[in-house]
Structure 1
Amino acid sequence: MGDDGDPAELVSAFLSGNGLPVREMGRTATQFHPTGAGTPCGAALYVSAAAGCVMAGGPVGAPSPVPGIPDVVAVVHTHRGPSESSPSVMGACAMSTGDSGGSAGGASPDGWRLGPWRDSWSRAEHAAAVSAVRAAIGRGDVYQVNVVGHASAPYTGDPGPALARVAGLPGARYGGVLSGDGWALATASPETLVEIRGGRIITRPIKGTRPATAAGRAELLASAKERAEHVMIVDLERNDLARLGAGAVRVDELFAVRRWCGLWQAESVVSAPLDQPVDLADVLRALCPGGSVTGAPKRAALAEIARLEPVGRGVGMGALGWVGPDHLDLGLSIRTAAVDGERAHLWAGGGITIDSDPLAEVEEAAAKAAPMRAALAGP
């Protein structure tokens, strides 16, 4: 697949051309789908944060620190014959939104060893970015912006077991590994970007974090700041679903507390019936990038992100999941790590409102990154 064109349309056309009914999603639950040998059983789909920005019509921002990883990857799997127990790969596509910067090299066959982490910004620079967002909110430019930092570390050896540890972190609704030529990524995301199942479209935004203790839970539930931040993104996601022309959008659950590793996080469930079938391309344009990792209004928040973040989000804050013949289930690629031929990479951040404390936001991002750093370091 080439580099030009709308990523949402290109991936939709590719999957449709390989036999998946992505042009009429929402109607597929009532259709018959063949399951004989050679027929498609679904596709793994990954969309980078940069590709999501292109879909939303916003600025892409700083270059990705992992340019060897494509911005969109789709791998179609097919049913095998009766004597074969697992799907086979039918076809794959990959595209980039910019210069790929060359291919990545291979890993050393020696034992796994992770070197020291190098952060994209210092604690003071991170705190200054939070203060800059608060100033933008004070001017009326935005209501909320999610700011994200990047860290990388050199490694030697086979990264496979380390990435499997990341994917196996407790609380991951989307735990898995996707790899290509000279690169791999692993996600332990707890957050649903978009799910389509049984004629209904669903998103589960997460906003609000505290340590997973009794006191942390009580503090999260009592925090007016966290609740305001959360409700703002719920309203944004309601608007994103309404853009698809779906039926009445409703909030099925508001500010429910869930656990991811050693953290409590607040999650809501927003859904709508799909009274009319929708194209996967339209779904991606409406939901990407996810509101909980951008802010509100979305395009204004993307402009602030492009202005403030010194390193691109790469595989972080994008989408990763499965497109089946009768459903779609994409996780937001938070709590996600990647490796190229030389370094391991991860991203973490948080939503900033007018009431955010810069140093507290720095600590929250560090708390989100800590389980991934530990998983990558070793058992």
Structure 2
Amino acid sequence: MRPILAMNGRHSFSLIRPTARHLALFYVLKQGAILSLSPERFILCDNSEIQTRPIKGTLPRLPDPQEDSKQAVKLANSAKDRAENLMIVDLMRNDIGRVAVAGSVKVPELFVVEPFPAVHHLVSTITAQLPEQLHASDLLRAAFPGGSITGAPKVRAMEIIDELEPQRRNAWCGSIGYLSFCGNMDTSITIRTLTAISGQIFCSAGGGIVADSQEEAEYQETFDKVNRILKQLEK
């Protein structure tokens, strides 16, 4: 993470907000702000109905519509990205299954390509039912942090992250959301998320590493994810 610009956080968010679809937020802190354009839902709990939508698999959008459609098909058929997505689906099913009603965990959508302004993402949907005696906070404790940004096996992956990454992730790759008095909850994974501190904007990006990853492709993917945001800030 490094400072990319010296500018006001609120003004910065007004510049990048048009690049977001949903789950965007601007959160004021005592010494700065969080600017999040997250495309990824972590955990939704609505009247005890649970939903999580992990993202694993990314290719950049292309300017030509026909080539862009081919890019989406390429992502949908990528064995590497499907395997990576399935790994996290299994992890999230296990995490949610620790507190969900027995037999209620389902995967209604698997390997769906969703277009975003800068990239195509491979998204899956997991649903379940929260027992009446449990609260959304129990669900959050069971599943946090999100498997899509830890990897699997989760505990060992987090140990490796702590060993190898030179800086703390802070708000990036965490979760932000709300927990209501009636027991509902909605949270995002804070990817595509910037931090404003003392007049500087910090931007982070990353990608999952698996056995058949190609380092140049993974490195380029980090830029594909944030280039559009950075260009908006430079206007």
Same fold (TM over 0.5): yes
- The residue aligned with 2:142 is 286
2:2 paired residue number? 151
Q: Tell me the secondary structure at the aligned position of residue 161 of structure 2.
A: helix
Equivalent residue for 1:230?
Answer: 85
Q: Write the letter of the residue equivalent to 2:16.
A: V
1:182 corresponds in structure 2 to 31
Which whole-Å CA distance do the structure 1 matches of 2:99 and 2:232 have between them? 39
Q: What is aligned with 1:165?
A: 15
- Given the alignment of the two structures, is residue 318 of structure 1 paired with residue 198 of structure 2, yes or no? no
**CA distance, structure 2, for counterparts of residue 283 and residue 375 of structure 1:** 36
Whether contact under 8 Å (2:4, 2:203) holds in the other structure is no
Instruction: Using the TM superposition, name which of 269-278 and 253-262 deviates more.
Output: 269-278
| Structure 1 residue 363, shift from structure 2 partner | 0.3
Match among 210, 217, 223 for residue 59 of structure 2: 210
How do residues 1-379 of structure 1 correspond to structure 2 at under 5 angstroms? 150-156=1-7, 158-170=8-20, 172-212=21-61, 213-247=68-102, 248-326=104-182, 327-378=184-235
SS at match of 1:354: coil
Structure 2: distance between partners of 1:306 and 1:190: 25
Aligned pair in 2 of structure 1 residues 168, 320: CA closer, same or farther (>3 Å)? farther
Deviation larger for 177-186 or 320-329: 320-329
CA contact (8 A) 1:168 1:188 kept: no
* One-letter amino acid of the counterpart of residue 209, structure 1: T
Q: Which amino acid aligns with 1:240?
A: D
Change (3 A) 1:197 1:253: same
Query: SS of the counterpart of 2:4?
Result: strand
Q: Is the 8 A contact 2:100 2:128 kept in 1?
A: no
Question: Contact between 1:185 and 1:336, CA under 8 Å: does it hold in 2?
Answer: yes
Partner amino acid for 2:168? G
Q: Secondary structure at the match of 1:254?
A: strand
3-state SS, counterpart of residue 206 of structure 2? strand
Give the distance between the partners of 1:225 and 1:253, measured in 2 at CA: 18
CA separation in 1, counterparts of 2:161 and 2:150? 8
Other structure's SS at 1:350 match = coil
Which piece of structure 1 moves more, 323-332 or 310-319?
Answer: 323-332
Which structure has the larger Rg over C-alpha atoms? 1
Is contact 2:108-2:125 (8 Å) kept?
yes
SS in 2 for 1:228: helix
- Three-state SS of the structure 2 residue aligned to 1:276 is coil
Contact (CA 8 Å) 1:337, 1:347: kept in 2 or not?
yes
Give TM-score scaled by structure 2 length: 0.91
Q: Is the 8 A contact 1:246 1:276 kept in 2?
A: no
Mapped partners of 1:329, 1:257: distance in 2 = 22
What is the identity percentage for the equivalent residue pairs of Structure 1 and Structure 2?
33
Number of corresponding residues = 227
Uncovered stretches (5+) of structure 2, i.e. residues with no partner: 62-67
CA–CA distance in structure 2, aligned partners of residues 371 and 286 of structure 1: 34
Displacement of 1:154 after TM fit? 4.3
> Matches of 2:171 and 2:55 in 1, distance apart?
18
Amino acid at match of 2:71: G
Check 1:178–1:359 CA distance in 2 against 1; reply closer, same or farther (3 A cut): same
Name the Cα RMSD after superposition: 1.5
Is there any run of 5+ residues in structure 1 with no aligned partner, and where?
1-149
CA drift of 1:193 comes to: 0.5
Amino acid paired to 1:165: L
Q: Per the alignment, in what secondary structure is the counterpart of residue 329 of structure 1?
A: strand
